[in-house]
Structure 1
Amino acid sequence: MTGSDTVAREVIVVGRVQGVFFRGSCQQEARRRHLAGWVTNEPDGSVRAWFEGAAPDVDSLCAWCQHGPPGAVVERVRTFDREPGGLGRFEVR
């Protein structure tokens, strides 16, 4: 995914976000928005993700991360602007 309007953000979601289908739900939401990137569980219990695509869609998925799927309890979300890497799809790692 490339283009002058493509942005990328790295997101770290802290709280009860593992074991609640956060990664699978995030993948569904990303694909619905036609975003590329990935999402993974971290050893400290957080979830880390990379979203790449049109700015409004990336913004929308970052906003979704503020609450996540049913069952998640999001305490904090940190976002970092990054350079797009030209990823072509979204995957769960």
Structure 2
Amino acid sequence: IRQRAYDHGIKNAFNFPGFVPAYIRPLFCEGKGPFRWVALSGDEDDIYATDKVVMELFPDDEPLHRWLKMAREKVPFQGLPSRICWLGYGERVKAGLAF
């Protein structure tokens, strides 16, 4: 999008960072990474059950809780129900073992 803006005359289009440097890299610097799962059953309730497990495993992670609640309310499933969240070093293992 920055290149398109620049091509159309916005000379300072590159004065703000891209998505990865601005949002993803800081998460990696904290040791966080993506954790994804899919309900192979096709049942949305299985995702809601795993959401609950994740929130119980990490009760003090407010951004995680906020994301899972918002995803349930505003992000429709496409194909098999699935979820993604960002968990810290060691947390992905903890969640995987709980599943």
Taking structure 1 as the reference length, the TM-score comes to 0.44
Q: Which of the pair has the greater relative contact order for Cα pairs under 8 Å at 6+ separation?
A: 1
Q: Which has the larger radius of gyration?
A: 2
Structure in which a larger fraction of residues adopt strand: 1
More helix by share: 2
TM norm structure 2? 0.42
